[in-house]
Amino acid sequence: GAGVSQSPRYKVAKRGQDVALRCDPISGHVSLFWYQQALGQGPEFLTYFQNEAQLDKSGLPSDRFFAERPEGSVSTLKIQRTQQEDSAVYLCASSLPRRDEQYFGPGTRLTVT
Amino acid sequence: QKEVEQDPGPLSVPEGAIVSLNCTYSNSAFQYFMWYRQYSRKGPELLMYTYSSGNKEDGRFTAQVDKSSKYISLFIRDSQPSDSATYLCAMTKTGGFKTIFGAGTRLFVKA
């Protein structure tokens, strides 16, 4: 069946631009996670949704980062006024209520120039 | 000090070798322990999941958790070139949503 999809796969932004990254979770998965993965590092938790409710946003690095999931399915991660340190792969994962089994998308590689 | 420590490698072994991958952690509240495999330019995929202490086996893979030592391991038997990837340990606390990952160990299995 269809897995988690993310778009775009690659994004190049000039410093100061706003970007929006999209995640389509597996159908029926109520839990959705966003992670940031820097080169050579493991994924770092950004935020968690259960359906449309954002239950944990403690990992968002600054108020320039904003995530939403208005109808409890598709989610968007928005980064305002991008900085070079935002360059990373942004991963989305979804799961059934058992949060331990997370299914990851391929990620969006963001490069800020 | 990071909550989860993992040697980044790289680790290079010949085909057929037994591979041992390890992580240590500092927070005794972690109860759920996972191992993910990540190929280049792909998202991580779950290999093994263990709750609390003990061993779990699945085919060529064995996961071990020693909570008294705050140490987890993944063993790969009869390693294959297709096992060449980055292996990430991950863990969560009971009732928590935040999954903490190690930095990943790069494994190369030579034919």
Which residues are CB-contacts of A53 (< 8 A; sequence separation ≥ 6)? none
Pair of tokens at residue B57: 């086996």
Convert the pLDDT of each residue in B69-87 to its tens digit.
Answer: 999 999 999 999 999 999 9
User: What residues in B contact A95, CB-CB < 8 Å?
Assistant: none
Q: Which residues of B touch A4 (CB under 8 A)?
A: 43
Is B102 in contact with B5 (CB distance < 8 Å)? yes
Report, as an integer, the average pLDDT of B38-67.
93
Q: Encoding tokens for residue A94?
A: 């979804």
CB atoms within 10 A of CB B34: 23
In a mutational test of the A interface, the residue from B97, B101, B105, B106 whose CB has the highest number of chain A CBs within 10 Å is B97
Cβ contact (<8 Å) for B41 and A106?
A: yes
Q: What are phi and psi of B22, to 5 degrees?
A: -140, 155
What integer pLDDT is reported at residue A1 of this predicted model? 55
Is residue B3 less than 8 Å (CB to CB) from chain A?
no
Nearest Cα of chain B lies from the Cα of A47 at a distance, in angstroms, of 8
For A1-52, what is each residue's pLDDT tens digit?
Answer: 589 999 999 999 999 999 999 999 999 999 999 999 999 999 999 999 999 9
Give A99's pLDDT tier (boundaries 50, 70, 90): low
Helix (H) / strand (E) containing A20: strand A19-24
**Quick one: DSSP state of residue A64?**
T
Token pair, residue A8, equals 């775009």
d(CA B8, CA B53): 24
Mean pLDDT of chain B: 94
Check pLDDT > 80 for residue A98: no
CB B3 within 8 A of CB B23: no
Residue type, A103: Y
For residue A57, count other CB atoms closer than 10 A to its CB.
15
For residues B43 and A4, is the Cβ–Cβ distance under 8 A?
yes
Partner-chain contact B43 A33, CB within 8 Å: no
- Average pLDDT on A95-108 reads 85
Among candidates A55, A100, A104 on the partner chain, residue whose Cβ is nearest the Cβ of B92:
A100
| Contact between chains at B43 and A105 (C-beta distance less than 8 A) | yes
- CA of A83 vs chain B CAs: smallest distance (Å): 22
Give the β-pairing of B45-51 and A108-112. unpaired
